Amino acid sequence: MTTTAPPVTPVRRRVAVAGVRHAAGRVLAVLARSAAVFAPVFLVATFVTFALRSLSGLSPARVQLGEEATPEAIERVEAQWGLDRPFLTQYGDWFTSVLHGDLGTSWVNGADISTLIGLGLGVSLSVATFALIIGVFAGFLLGTVAALRRTTVIDRTITGFVTVISVMPAFVVGIVLVSVLAVGLGLFPSAGYVPAEQGAGAWLAHITLPALALSFDVVADVARQLRSSLVGAYQENYVTGAVVRGLSPRRIFFTHVLRNALGPTLATLGQKFPALVGASVVTEWIFGLQGFGRFANDSAQAGDVPAVQGVLVVSIALVVSFNLVVNLVLAHVTPASRRGV
Amino acid sequence: MSPLSPDTLTPRPERPRPERARPETARPTDDGGSPEAAPVLALHDVRVTDRAGDREIVHGVTFTLTPGKAVGIVGESGSGKTLTCRAVLGILPPHFEVSGGRVDLMGEDTATKTPRQWTDLRGSTIGAVFQDPASYLNPAITVGAQIAEVLRVKRGLSRRAARRRAVELLAAVRLRDPGRVHGQYVHELSGGMLQRVLIAAAVAVEPRALIADEATTALDVTVQAEILDLLADLRERTGLALVVVSHDLAVVAHLCDEVLVMRRGEVVEQGETRSVLHHPRHPYTRLLVAEHEQYGLDRFRHPSGGVMTTPAVKAAREAEPGAVLEVTGLDVHHGRGRARRRVLRDVTLGIAPGEIVGLIGETGSGKSTLARAVLGLVPPSAGSIRVAGEDVGAYGPRQWRALRRRGVIQYVFQDPLRSLDPDLTIEDSLVEPLLIQGVRRKEAAPRVRSFLDRVRLTPDLLERLPAELSGGQRQRVAVARALVTGPRLVVLDEPVSALDSANRVQVLEILKELRASGVALLLISHDLGSVAGTADRVAVLHRGELVETGAARDIVNHPVHPYTRLLLGSAPTLRGRPAGRAEREALRALPAD
């Protein structure tokens, strides 16, 4: 061990440079690792998605010509759609156009699927994002208060409330919300959607109830997870360490406890997003929204395979990118996940 | 405040402290505080009670700490030493409270302090460091940021100034490359480095007193010595008053002016360090001293020191000439491809029947790998291993299975609780190795009973579960289980590290007696001091190589290799350290090449 220390200035410069390089490298490393995981996931998922057509035996000819079609007519239509070519060639072509943002055309009405999905996605993302925001805010508030007042009446009340709302399905909540807040009290419109360009107030009014209905599950999961990780973090020695160094309770909560408790909660949130997309199918029916979920449902009923494939590809992309964001945030708050596998 | 060079902390006299009321106490004298200096910390008959069970746990602790002085508290786990520290820091666990006496910090009764006042006091008046430093730092933030945080909050420094001062502090606790350490996370640093970081954070705002609660426990001996040197250095340079808490009397001995020996919440002995060491009055203190004098390095300071070869042992050795274990030119590699690296290099070691060989090495030296190679758990890449004449180094899995069933080699783990099946009674655990050999249960049971006596356990323990036994009893059960098959070689990995003094002495004594049965023992430890007094011969492993092998007495009295000298110079003993701080530092530079 040397006792002679280097002069101060070079040390400082090295610290600063290393710090910047460290941070940038970290983000890049997380991105690279996530890409390495997500690229194969995306490939396999799209392949399975595309194989659905062959497996289902559905054909555009049946959709367009009906049950009475002659075999010649069917062959003609299938050739027109390029379905007589080898499977892998079809997949290759389809995958290339997907990468260019082209999801093909509908078997039912020949419309461009990307455009159709785009229309529905605006509605669904508005609702889902709002639901997430409500879920995160209310969940954090409830979870934090319960953890800070742990084992008191307040904690028990919150835990009880959270358990109750976690077992209520979104469609039940939706129906109750519509009948009480929309039909009974007339506070919100009961159904329909107004794009944000036509007035933020109207837009918010229309998405509030569906978002609320969807958010209950998120609130419950975030609150429970956050409460238990906060309680766990408070029992860690580094909290004692911070107390002994003379830091205030508020500071200990924000810089030490919360930071470490955030990891599991964010991971929960990452898992919640696909569920939100799934649950939107039901809520969009209740609230009369022409959203992404509704579109998926209609396409599946009509046997419109390219549309369903498009829905799946977009869902995969959504879930994957949302998880990428979660991973980036996770990598920033928790050092353990940065260590690699 | 003048700009500081990175390797110094502000000497106390340079900094006028407004909170100090009496001017005559403002300047500690050069010898580290004059007797009439106002006490930093004073405990008067402090009692701690567990309100949940309505039991008093600490039955009155009294001591006074003046600037530049050090008080040591010695006791095993459960003696109340940690609760006493926590009472001083105002961080008793829920439902524990100070039920009697008073704690004065800087002359003020802490019982009257509000939580906000406590927050102000901690860090700036009194700080603390603990065992397992990794757990006391936030894993999500760089260690430097955690030091800077204290400076910003308590000193109001700007972000930039706090960072600069944090790097200076890291240099002051003698961390190499402090700028780099500043930006690192807990998982990137070793235990010794983390303890330095924790000390830097604790002294960042220059408190008057520092509590070091088992701060060097579980660290390598050489690292422990470095941390103790650092504490002594801080005390000398800045007049920092220390409360040093340890289960090891020797750790406290060389650092403290006054010692309190605690047992079961009671201070059984208290006094000036030298008089406690030389004239221990309480039986428990005598035990602590005896542990070092009879089983540690201090044994060799007596002219007749060392392990006696009794006639029985001599007879056992003569009955079976030739080595039980013969390791020759052993190389072991870990990993494959580019990650492949040599863990052991050309190790040659033999153990005779009835001989105890102590294998000493620090974390990462390869001592566990050597044990695993002897047990057939890692394949050697070169060299041979012979056990009782069989060339086991060349054995395949099937031959190993047969060898293990015969129970020729046995192993005793460090942690006795985790090495015993919690659902089996002690009898079931002890009988198991015999049942594997095909001995019928009816015949096995009486054989097991005869071994109980040799490890000084009573037959009534047989029906109990491991959780119902004390740590020392469990380890003796583990030793008995290793012996029931009549092994030729027993490998013991840190067998006494997890035990308190009384049990430690008992287990070491049992091991010594075992030699008469002709069994060869390989005793692995990171601490030369803890096994030297029990071993016939000592082998020192450093970075995968045996750097020195010889009779325990010769190694302790005439170490040759610099690393062995450093180990000996670092091992805490009651008679003062054999090596001075400067000498240790010179030695540290040597084995690093």
Buried/exposed B409-418: b ≥16 CB within 10 Å, e otherwise: bbbbbbebee
Residues of chain B with pLDDT > 70, as a percent, come to 90
**Is the distance from CB of B178 to CB of A330 less than 8 angstroms?**
no
Distance from CA of B426 to the nearest CA of A (A): 34
At residue B18, the pLDDT reads 44
Pure H helices in chain A:
8-56, 60-65, 71-80, 87-99, 113-148, 153-166, 170-177, 200-234, 237-244, 249-251, 258-286, 292-302, 305-333
Enumerate residues 6+ apart whose C-beta is below 8 A from B468. Answer: none
Residues of A with CB under 8 A from a CB of B: 1-6, 8, 11-12, 14-15, 18-19, 22, 236-238, 240-249, 251, 255-256, 259-260, 333-336, 339
Q: Which of A256, A260, A263 is closest to A239 using CA atoms?
A: A256
Contact A238 B135 (CB under 8 A): yes
Q: Does A339 score more than 60 pLDDT?
A: no
Query: Least CB-CB distance to A334: which of B120, B140, B168?
Result: B140
Cβ pair B265, B56 in contact under 8 A: yes
Residue in A8, A15, A339 closest to B183 by CB:
A15
For residue B19, the model assigns a pLDDT of: 43
Identify the residue whose tokens are 């699927």.
A113
C-alpha atoms less than 13 angstroms from C-alpha of B23 in its C-beta half-sphere: 0
Q: What is the pLDDT of residue B260?
A: 95
Closest CA–CA distance from residue B460 to any residue of chain A (Å): 39
pLDDT at A37: 80
Which comes out higher in pLDDT, residue A149 or B36? A149
In chain B, residues 196-255 whose CB comes closer than 8 Å to chain A? 198, 201-202, 204-205, 226
At B341-358, the pLDDT tens digits run 889 999 999 999 989 999
What is the value of ipTM here, to two decimals? 0.78
Strands (E) located in B66-215: 70-74, 96-105, 108-109, 126-130, 209-213
Give yes or no for a contact between A134 and A165, defined as CB atoms under 8 angstroms apart. Answer: no
Cα of A301 to nearest chain B Cα, Å: 49
A244 and B183 in contact by Cβ < 8 A?
Answer: no
Orientation of helix B581-589 relative to helix B562-570, angle to 10°: 150
Residue A166: count other Cβ atoms within 10 Å of its Cβ. 15
List domains and CATH numbers for chain B. 12-281 (3.40.50.300), 421-484 (no CATH)
Chain B residues close to A336, C-beta within 8 Å: 139, 187
- Residue A36 distance to chain B (closest CA, Å): 23
Measured distance CA(A97)–CA(A91) in Å, rounded: 10
**Could you say which of A5, A14, A256 has the minimum Cβ distance to residue B138?**
A256
This prediction has a pTM of 0.78
Comparison of pLDDT for B18 and B532, the residue scoring more: B532
* pLDDT over 70 (residue B8): no
Q: What is the pLDDT of residue A185?
A: 83
pLDDT higher than 80, residue B423: yes
| pLDDT surpassing 80 at residue B21 | no
- Which residue in chain B is spatially nearest to A332 when comparing CA positions? B140
| Total residue count of chain B as it appears in this document | 593
pLDDT at B463 over 70: yes
Q: Do A237 and B201 touch (CB under 8 A)?
A: no
A12: pLDDT strictly greater than 50: no
Candidates A241, A255, A335; nearest CB to B136: A241
Fold annotation for A9-57+101-339: MetI-like fold (1.10.3720)
Residue B564 has pLDDT above 60, yes or no: yes
Give start and end residues of each alpha helix (H) in A170-304: 170-177, 200-234, 237-244, 249-251, 258-286, 292-302
A263 has a pLDDT exceeding 70: yes
Inter-chain contact B5–A5, Cβ cutoff 8 Å? Answer: yes
- Spell out which residues of chain A touch residue B187, defining contact as CB-CB under 8 Å: 335-336, 339
B569 near A CB under 8 A: no
Tell me which range, A308-322, B120-134, B525-539, is most confidently predicted by mean pLDDT. Answer: B120-134
Name residue B278's amino acid.
H
Q: Say which of B139, B154, B167 has its CB closest to residue A246.
A: B154
**Which residues, including other chains, have CB under 8 Å from residue B217's CB and lie 6 or more apart?**
B131, B246, B247, B248
User: Residue A17: its pLDDT value, please?
Assistant: 52
Reference B172, options B143, B145, B201; nearest CA is: B201
Average pLDDT, chain A: 81
Which residues make beta-bridge pairs with B246? Answer: B74
Which pairing describes strands B70-74 and B258-263: parallel, antiparallel, or unpaired?
parallel
Q: To the nearest whole angstrom, how far is the Cα of A146 from the nearest Cα of chain B?
A: 18
Overall average pLDDT of the A177-203 stretch: 80
pLDDT in the model for residue A146: 95
Helix (H) or strand (E) holding B451: helix B441-454
pLDDT for residue A239 is more than 90: yes
Tell me if residue B445 falls in helix, strand or coil.
helix
Nearest to A260 among B140, B178, B187 (CB): B140
Q: Verify whether the Cβ–Cβ distance B141 to A259 is below 8 Å.
A: yes
Q: Which residue of B has its CA nearest to A233?
A: B138
Question: How high is the pLDDT of residue B12?
Answer: 45
**Does the beta-carbon distance from B119 to A14 stay under 8 Å?**
no
Shortest distance, CA A177 to any CA of chain B (angstroms):
41
Nearest to A1 among B91, B204, B226 (CB): B226
The shortest CB-CB distance from A260 to any of B138, B149, B168 is to: B138
Span B38-42, mean pLDDT?
Answer: 92
pLDDT band at B27 (very low <50, low <70, confident <90, very high): very low
**pLDDT tens for residues A292-328?**
888 888 888 887 888 888 888 888 888 888 888 888 8
CB contacts < 8 A (A, B): 122
- Average pLDDT over chain B, rounded to an integer: 85
The per-residue pLDDT for range A107-142, each reduced to its tens digit, is 777 788 888 888 888 888 888 889 999 999 999 999
Q: Beta-carbon neighbour count of residue B391 at 10 Å? A: 12
**DSSP assignment of B29-55, as one string?**
-TTT--TTSPPSEEEEEEEEEETTTTE
Contact predicate A180/A292, CB 8 Å: no
Determine how many CB atoms are found less than 10 A away from the CB of residue B80: 23
